Amino acid sequence: MALFESDVPIREVVTTDPEKAKALENDLRAKVLDMLAEEEMTIEAIQQELGRRGETKAETTVRHHVNVLKEADMVEISRLEEAGGGTRKYYRSNTRVFSYNLPEGAEETLAPVQETATEGLSALVESLYEHHGDDIRSVARTMKPCEYCETQHYEEFIVRELLERALIDLCETGDSDERLTGGA
């Protein structure tokens, strides 16, 4: 007889590729992504801003972390500029990391919103499969197994990626800015 037994529902899903997961193993890199999401910066400017935020690091260390993010396709060179016989590189993040916890009581407050979202997403997923199910299944058949998982959830991953990219598109085009920022 078990001393404790509980039905444990899935409450969180993390979707990222292994390279991005490895890149985010270091807190400093998440800080760099946050900085570069707001503006393009040079290695020197990143180092100075990190120092202002209480992270004193050598320029070579900052360069290493930016290169790790660049190799994981989370940071890109946004501009090159001639400077003193050399080339100054400006970096910009193409990735936004959200690392928040909802405040206490928020789940209860947001429960009706969650219900509305679930109903809307259910209809949307049904529509996606109705119009594009063959494409989703075709891509799922070509995917490689996750190195961490024995059970594979290819179609779920694809649908989540599509929804995430649609949210990104809405935010990047400004179509949802007013709603997502409270009109600020």
3-state secondary structure 27-50: HHHHHHHHHHHHCCECHHHHHHHH
Return the pLDDT at 16.
78
100 in Cβ contact with 94 (< 8 Å):
no
Beta strands in the chain (DSSP E): 75-83, 86-93
Give tens-digit pLDDT for 165-177. 898 888 887 766 6
Return the pLDDT at 111.
95
Return the pLDDT at 127.
96
Mean pLDDT value across the chain: 88
Helix axes 59-71 and 27-38, enclosed angle (nearest 10): 80
Return the pLDDT at 179.
65
Tokens of 70: 């660049």
pLDDT: which is higher, 48 or 102: 48
Residues of the chain with pLDDT > 70, as a percent, come to 91
Give tens-digit pLDDT for 113-157. 999 999 999 999 999 999 999 999 999 999 988 777 777 889 998
Task: Give the chain's domains with CATH numbers.
Answer: 18-93 (1.10.10.10), 106-178 (no CATH)
pLDDT: which is higher, 38 or 32: 32
Return the pLDDT at 178.
66
Give tens-digit pLDDT for 63-75. 999 999 999 999 9
Return the pLDDT at 120.
95
pLDDT of 184 higher than 60: no
Q: How far is CA 129 from CA 13, 32, 63, 126, 155, in A?
A: 21, 38, 44, 5, 10
